[in-house]
Structure 1
Amino acid sequence: MITPFTGDRIVLNDLGFYGYHGLFNEEERLGQRFFIDLQCGVDLSAPGSTDEIGHTVSYADIYDVVKATFEAKRTKLIEALAQNICAALFEAFSDINWVIVRVRKPEAPIAMVRGEAAIELHRVRSD
């Protein structure tokens, strides 16, 4: 059994999207930037040995699932957005054993001069 959140992983960081997620009418109407950092637990020993794309999960395909999920449904909470991304990745890729996803919202509607609001979910595939 693979211990969650350890071992091999595919990493995609700083994926930028423009979307309309949020609680407030202005967020729905005007939209804003979001950034997503992602780690997917996948055994990479076969592709490391064979150098064959067919033995791994393509990070381009992972990106496509994240993008489609981000754009598919508006959520009020970035927690729900992150959960939708985790569920979509588990559904699309049976080789992904666990996911860590961080959703960052640099223009969150709070009075900060610099920084960003973010959440991070850690999810393990349920059998």
Structure 2
Amino acid sequence: MTATRYRQDEPSDRIILNRIALFAYHGLHPEEERLGQRFFVSLDVGLDLREAGRGDDWHSTACYAKLTQRVQEIGVGQRFRTIEGLAEAIATATLTAVPRIQRVTVRIEKPAAPIPAIIDGIAVEITRTRADI
């Protein structure tokens, strides 16, 4: 993921989950709905981690396993025509589920996008804040 830019009033601490792999059926084309394909989802969440770090307290952070599970539930359990829609759903769910998270950047990679060119893949990256929900 690229370096996340954050406003001065947002926490600079981050938890980063890189490339959660999914096999899902997102896309516009009938073949995508029928055959499915790989997607990779990365999260970069901004929250204040001082209390968790100073107290070595996992209750004061965001649970990586729960964040990953939610990505998988949305990414595999729902169908989206666009990866923008998938990214938005994941961002909203992340901010809603974990009140201590102030900002989330969601990156969706689609390595086998059906376009007539030789490419390594495409990606969409969005950033949402608590104010957006």
TM range (shorter): over 0.9
Q: Residue 3 of structure 1 is aligned with which of 9, 21, 24?
A: 9
RMSD: 1.6
Q: What does residue 74 of structure 2 align with?
A: 69
Matched, 1:18 2:23: yes
TM-score (norm 1): 0.93
Q: Supply the AA of the counterpart residue of 1:9.
A: R
TM-score (norm 2): 0.89
Q: Supply the AA of the counterpart residue of 2:86.
A: L
Deviation string for 1:78-99 (max 9, x for gaps)?
0000000011111110011011
1:2 CA drift (Å): 5.8
- Measured in 2, the distance between the counterparts of 1:91 and 1:52 equals 22
- Measured in 2, the distance between the counterparts of 1:48 and 1:2 equals 21
Q: What does residue 45 of structure 2 align with?
A: 40
Matched, 1:50 2:59: no
Q: Supply the AA of the counterpart residue of 2:70.
A: V
* Same amino acid, percent of matched pairs: 40
- Measured in 2, the distance between the counterparts of 1:2 and 1:67 equals 32
Count of residue pairs the alignment pairs up: 126
Q: Supply the AA of the counterpart residue of 2:113.
A: A
Q: Supply the AA of the counterpart residue of 2:98.
A: F
Q: Which structure 1 segments of 5+ residues have no match?
A: none
- Measured in 2, the distance between the counterparts of 1:17 and 1:27 equals 14
Deviation string for 1:74-127 (max 9, x for gaps)?
000000000000111111100110110110000000123241111100111127
- Measured in 1, the distance between the counterparts of 2:28 and 2:119 equals 21
Q: Which structure 2 segments of 5+ residues have no match?
A: 1-6
Secondary structure of 1:121 counterpart: strand
Matched, 1:95 2:114: no
